[in-house]
Amino acid sequence: MTMAGGVREFAVATPDAVAVVDGDRRLTYRGLHDRSSRLANALLNAGLRPGDRVAVLLGNRFEFPEIICGVAKAGLVLVPISPRSSAGECGYALGHSGCSALILDGAYAGLAAEAGSGLKVVLSIGRAELGPPYEAALAVAPGRDPRIPVAENDPFAIYYTSGTTGKPKGVLSSHRARTLMCYLSALEWGLGAGRTSLAVAPMCHGAGMVFDYAPLVAGGSVTMLRSWDPDRMLHLTERDRVQSVFLIPTHAQMLRALGDAALGRRDLSSLDTLYFNAAAFPAALKEWVTGAFPKAGVHELYGSTEAGIVTNCRPADAARKAGSVGQPWYMTDLRVVDEAGLPVGPGERGELFSRSPFLMSGYLDDDAATAACTTEDGYLTSGDIAVQDEDGFVSIVDRKKDMIISGGVNVAPREVEEVLAAFPGVAEAAVVGLPDERWGERVTAFAVPLPGHDLDAAGLDAHCRAQLSGPKVPRSIEIVAALPRNGSGKVLRRELRAQNTSPDS
């Protein structure tokens, strides 16, 4: 069971079926199998060996699925990096994971320029500033599948996700975990043979890669949306007769902002499945989605990079279980416990743990962090506080961790605070997430000046933009005389949230 298996199977079963669509470019399963094999051989012939890490710095585009498959065929490990990363974040991921190769869109060469010199292989798509052209490498490589042996519990990918300490952690995910999620996603949301899905979520993220690649594991077709544009999303849905789309609540907010007339101009009758994840889904917004797409079943799921998919609230339960993220997903056991680790009863608050085949294999080179979030009997904590009702439906009521989720992107307050604290004249800073209708939460910073210093919020903003990727930049920065603290001196983030959240938020 590997992430190359589905492409191999359907290259034999339905070689002429369309696998990937990107603008006017189309790739059949025969072509996907051939090109991914050529990439695998190009990497192996360049000196990489099974187990070596290959970074990918791409947006959603034609080449991403064949890179996933090619890396898997070669027995290598994928390290996806977001194009929205800063140069420092990109360099950290490349260095911490020990990458031997990098495949990137030439437009993002500036992000990896410093790290590129230490890599064995760099292949550039488009502009070839850091390495030779990707297409040239494929053209001279053999098209025979190398079939490097890969055990299903071998690592498939290392995903970098923000941690509460601020330093990103490398989440090790196995072939078995990701392939099972792909197959079951295809079963749950109709992503398989004879179906067309739209790749909206970035494939460089854990959820986006599963949901955008799952159609190819199961013999379906996927259309690439290169960057989020609500009108373009509707256009592609109409043009390609898309049936299934994965979105985050922020996408729904932007679709609603287009107005009913924009939706009415499109033939969206093919769309029968919408599924949402990555942030809280406000009830009013979910009601709008249900009304705006009356022929589509709306699913709300819950999960994380570390845990995979944990729950799903299916359309039949949405109305009677409003506010719930659903019941445990396939092959998943849940446990809701108190501070002593003892199970709580239905309707009682507790920390949510899950156990399933989709869990991470651990954090790369961080046994302490892995042990801190897992139990001896194989459960992993979500860090969220939940309530489970008599029917097993889960509602997320609070977050134990301080993580901010803005537009579906995890933002660690500590990371932003450290950038703020490096600005001249800042004594200390605190960062929280405040409710935001469009983004779910907005990153909000509070900075305390050193005695005798006058802080300039505009200067702090410019400083943050130079150091942080877009989603992590505070949307507002307030200069305050002091931060609220408890008796032991710990900053009370909940008070900052309460003081700056109106009753109507």
Q: Which of 54, 75, 64, 55 is nearest to 155 (CA)?
A: 75
Residue 166 has a pLDDT of 56
Write down all domains in the chain, each with its CATH number in brackets.
1-172 (3.40.50.12780), 321-401 (2.30.38.10), 404-499 (3.30.300.30)
| Residue 505 confidence (pLDDT) | 42
Cα gap 238→293, rounded to integer Å: 13
CA distance 278 to 286: 14
Backbone angles phi, psi at 359, to 5 degrees: -65, 150
Average pLDDT over residues 110-124: 82
Task: Note the pLDDT of residue 114.
Answer: 72
Residue range 232-269, pLDDT digits in tens: 999 999 999 999 999 988 888 889 889 889 999 999 99
Nearest one of 276, 306, 54 to 160, comparing CA atoms: 306
Q: Tell me the average pLDDT of the chain.
A: 91
Q: From its phi and psi, is residue 308 left (phi > 0), alpha (psi between -120 and 50) or beta?
A: left
Write the pLDDT tens digit of every residue in 416-474.
887 898 898 888 888 999 988 888 899 999 998 888 888 989 999 999 999 898 889 99
Is the pTM higher than 0.95? The answer reads no
Q: How far apart are CA 80 and CA 437, in angstroms?
A: 29
Beta-bridge mates of residue 170: 160
Average pLDDT over residues 354-365: 98
Task: State yes or no: pLDDT of 502 exceeds 60.
Answer: no
pLDDT at residue 498, rounded to an integer: 83
Range list of H helices, 101-219? 109-112, 134-140, 175-189, 206-217
- The confidence score (pLDDT) of residue 127 equals 81
Lowest model confidence (mean pLDDT) among 5-14, 42-51, 79-88: 79-88
Contact 168, 206 (CB under 8 A): no
Can you give the three-state secondary structure of 302-318, one letter per residue?
Answer: EEECCCEEEEEECHHHH
**Is the pLDDT assigned to residue 165 strictly greater than 80?**
no
Residue 189 has pLDDT above 70, yes or no: yes
The answer on pLDDT for 503 being more than 80 is: no
- Judge whether 419 and 383 are in contact, CB under 8 Å: no
Task: Decide if 454 contacts 486 (C-beta within 8 A).
Answer: no
Residue that has been written with the tokens 């986006």 in this structure: 208
